[in-house]
Structure 1
Amino acid sequence: MSSKPLRLIGEDAGDIAPVSAALQDAIARMGDLTFEARARRFTAVFSRYRWEASRGQGERVRSALQVGSVLSVKAMRLRKGAPDAFVSLLSLAFEPSGEAENPAGTLVLTFAGGGALRLEVECVDLVLADVSAPWKASARPDHGADDDAGAPA
């Protein structure tokens, strides 16, 4: 198992899928999702399941996602007033503006339980980086039909 830290850069819509795959089942506290309007920057700190190194029970690692060129952030069905509430990320997707030659669009973070964050961006400008040493996960994420998708692993 490799313990080399993951570092990914996203500069266009085609770069979103690998970042989404790396972040699938990542867990964050609501207080660790921040938008700095003046700096036009969104930052999230996750406990990421290391799918790329998973064998057996697997590992988690602290990872930071930083998105630049953010114009606005809209939260849907998330407990914004509860900084210690946990969310489990299902996917990251990019919805282009629809205008040819315009790199703007919406970056959508979809969470278990139906919550989402919609980041209006001028362009795809993101970095995902592991920021800690990995540790043994308490369980491997399971997407069975009867699981509690919001439970941390």
Structure 2
Amino acid sequence: MTQDAAFEDGGEKPLNLGALDADDLGVISALVQDAVFPVTEMTWNAKQRRFALLLNRFRWEDLPKAERRGRKPERVQSVLVMENVMRVASSGVDRADKDIILSLLALEFEAGEDGTGALIVTLAGDGAIRLDVEALEVTLKDVTRPYLAPSGQAPRHPE
């Protein structure tokens, strides 16, 4: 008799995920919830139609293991890339203040016609970034080794 593999059986490997539909995006959204990044780490390359964020992502996927082992939670630097971006607009984001740190709450896709739509990046403090896309294509890739979360605890949200 064989047993299914459990999440805990996996090695400590960096994430490298892609999303081509709203269901996939929901997984990435959960993994980037509470990621923080300086406003200076947002880049839009209009010619390549690519928008990217360099995030300090909270490792939600590691939290149960950390708690079981009495280890403090971790963060990791990750690159979040959105492809096929035709237009970018933001609200509540002061790009002139180079010292501002933004906190990502969620990613959502508002479908349009024939695969087009808007990718909404919701930020804490009523900020948002709207990316009009020709097609949904998002990647999340960890680019550093995990490090202890400076706060030593998991983010909390008031209910």
TM-score (norm 1): 0.88
Q: Percent identity?
A: 38
Tell me the distance in 1 between the aligned counterparts of 2:20 and 2:90.
23
* Larger deviation, residues 48-57 vs 122-131: 48-57
CA RMSD after TM alignment? 1.3
Provide the residue aligned with 2:138 in structure 1: 126
Shift of 1:134: 0.2
Shift of 1:39: 1.1
Tell me the distance in 2 between the aligned counterparts of 1:130 and 1:95.
26
Provide the residue aligned with 2:18 in structure 1: 9
SS in 1 for 2:26: helix
CA shift digits 1:61-101 (9 cap, x unpaired): 0000111100010010111112331000000000001x3xx
Provide the residue aligned with 2:5 in structure 1: none
Provide the residue aligned with 1:150 in structure 2: none
Tell me the distance in 2 between the aligned counterparts of 1:85 and 1:126.
25
Shift of 1:138: 2.3
Provide the residue aligned with 2:104 in structure 1: 89
Provide the residue aligned with 2:155 in structure 1: 141
Please list every run of at least 4 consecutive aligned residues from structure 1 whose deviation after the TM superposition is greater than 6 angstroms.
none
Q: 2:34·2:155 contact (CA, 8 Å) conserved in 1? A: yes
Tell me the distance in 2 between the aligned counterparts of 1:67 and 1:82.
24
Shift of 1:124: 0.6
Provide the residue aligned with 2:83 in structure 1: 68
Tell me the distance in 2 between the aligned counterparts of 1:144 and 1:138.
20
Tell me the distance in 2 between the aligned counterparts of 1:128 and 1:30.
18
Tell me the distance in 2 between the aligned counterparts of 1:107 and 1:129.
18
Q: 2:25·2:138 contact (CA, 8 Å) conserved in 1? A: no
Tell me the distance in 2 between the aligned counterparts of 1:78 and 1:3.
35
Aligned partner (choices 30, 41, 53) of residue 50 of structure 2 = 41
Q: 1:12·1:123 contact (CA, 8 Å) conserved in 2? A: no
Question: Would you say how many aligned residue pairs link Structure 1 and Structure 2?
Answer: 142
Q: 2:110·2:118 contact (CA, 8 Å) conserved in 1? A: yes
The gaps in structure 1 that reach 5 residues or longer are: 146-153
Tell me the distance in 2 between the aligned counterparts of 1:48 and 1:24.
8
1:115 partner letter: G
SS in 2 for 1:63: strand
Q: 1:70·1:121 contact (CA, 8 Å) conserved in 2? A: yes
CA shift digits 1:84-141 (9 cap, x unpaired): 31000000000001x3xx1100000000000000000000111100000000112321
The gaps in structure 2 that reach 5 residues or longer are: 1-7
Tell me the distance in 2 between the aligned counterparts of 1:33 and 1:87.
10
Q: 2:115·2:134 contact (CA, 8 Å) conserved in 1? A: yes
Shift of 1:49: 0.2
